Amino acid sequence: MIWNKLYGMQAIYIGANENKMIKIAVCDDDELYINKIIKPLLMKAQKVVSVHTDIKFFTNGVRLLEEYRNFQYYDIVILDIDMPTINGKELAAKLREIDKDLYIAFLSAYKEEVYDVIPLNISAFIPKEYDKEKCLDEFVKLLEKYIVDKPEQKMFGVLENGKSAVIRLCVDKILVIKLTNGIVVITTENGNFISTDRSLRNLETELSPLGFFKICSNILVNVNKVYEVLETEVALNNGSHLPVSRRRRKELLTVLSRIISAKVTT
C-alpha cells in the first residue's frame, strides 16, 4: 500500500495480477496431442483464471534447453516425460539447474512415473489418460497455484561477482532503478543489483505497465513505493528521497490521482 499526503487517503496497491503475463513453454513430441488437447485447454484455462499467458510449444526438448541457455526463460514449463533425444525428466533436471524457481509440470501416459519425478520438485503431474475436463481442471489449478505462490516476477540480467547472470526479481520488491555514469542499478528491498542492460529505456518499456514511472531522465520509480510527492522530490515509503523534474512531477501526480480514483470507484 502507499500513503500519499497529497490526497489524504490510502491508495490500494496496484495489483500486479491486473497486468500479469505468465510465460509458458510446452514440450511434447506428439504434435497432434499439442494441437488437439494441450493448446485449446490452456487457452480455456487462462480465461477461467483471468490471466494473460504467452505460450510457446516445442516438439523437441533440445530446442527448449537451447532457449534457456540463450537466456530465454519461462515461468511454467509443461513437459512430456517420454520424448526422444532428451526425455522430460532429464530436461527438467537441466532446466532446474538453470532456474531453481521454475514451475515444472509433467504430462505422462504412465501414472507410475509420478514417483520418479518427486525429487524434481514439480508443481503438477497430469496423466494423459485424463479426459479433457479433468485436464482442464489440472491446468486451471496449475495457473491458480502459480498466481498465489509467485507475485509478479521478471528476469533481469545482472552482474554477480563480475560475471553476467540472469535472476528473477519480484517486481513489488523493486524500489527504484537508476542510471548513473552509464551503469543501471536496480535497488530492491533486499539490496542493489547492477544491471547488464545499459539502457533505462528498455526497462521503462518493460516495467511501465507494472506501475513504474520515470520521474527524471535517469530514474525509474515504483509508484507503489511512493509516500509523498514534494515540490522537487519524491519521497518513498522507505524514507529515501529522489529528485523529480517539474514536468514529470505533474505527470506523476496525474498518474497517482488516476490510480487512486480507479481504486476508490471499484
| pLDDT at res. 66 | 93
Q: Tell me what the mean pLDDT of segment 73-83 comes to.
A: 92
Q: What is the pLDDT of residue 188?
A: 94
In the chain, domain spans:
19-149, 164-265
Q: pLDDT (tens digit, 9 = 90+) per residue, 57-71? A: 999 999 999 998 887
Least confident of 106-115, 177-186, 215-224: 106-115
Q: In CATH, what class is 164-265? A: mainly beta
**CA neighbor of 222 nearest in space, from 233, 231, 234, 230:** 234
Confidence of residue 1 (pLDDT cuts 50, 70, 90): very low
Mean pLDDT of 198-202: 86
pTM score of the predicted model? 0.61
Over 90: is that where the pLDDT of 15 sits? Answer: no
Q: What is the pLDDT of residues 108-124, one digit of tens each?
A: 887 767 666 766 767 88
User: Domain 19-149 adopts which CATH fold?
Assistant: Rossmann fold (3.40.50)
